[in-house]
């Protein structure tokens, strides 16, 4: 998950921000968008693989905070990680329904 959030996601953002050149194309789409889409897909894939590894390591049990017990760092990390993973998956779903502009 470290590679996912510290390497692939920032690179996807940087390509979307600084590499927009309408003349460079790959398979009919702008190059920056193809790279951005690929890096975001790798980010989500690595995140899903990390979730599977975490669930297998904990035996499928929730490692986050329990009611009535004070929260420590590991439990807070579990909450933040769960929220970030759901947000990444929601971004994937919204990208699948993205409006495609047609060039006339």
Walk along the chain (104 residues) in steps of 10 and give the mean pLDDT of each run: 91 88 76 89 92 90 80 85 90 81 53
- For residue 58, tell me if it sits in a domain: yes
Residues 6 or more apart whose CB falls under 8 angstroms from that of 95 comprise 37, 40
10: Cα within 13 Å, side-chain hemisphere: 5
- Number of domains present in the structure of the chain: 1
| pTM of the predicted protein model | 0.76
- Segments forming the whole domain that contains residue 86: 2-96
- For residue 103, tell me if it sits in a domain: no
């Amino acid at each position: 998950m470290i590679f996912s959030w510290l390497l692939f996601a920032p690179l996807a953002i940087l390509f979307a921000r600084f590499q927009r050149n309408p003349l460079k194309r790959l398979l009919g789409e702008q190059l920056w968008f193809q790279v951005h889409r690929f890096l975001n897909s790798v980010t989500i894939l690595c995140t899903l693989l990390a979730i599977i590894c975490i669930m297998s390591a904990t035996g499928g049990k929730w490692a986050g905070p329990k009611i009535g017990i004070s929260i420590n760092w590991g439990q807070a990390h579990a909450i933040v990680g769960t929220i970030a993973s759901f947000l990444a998956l929601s971004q994937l779903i919204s990208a699948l329904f993205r409006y495609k502009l047609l060039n006339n």
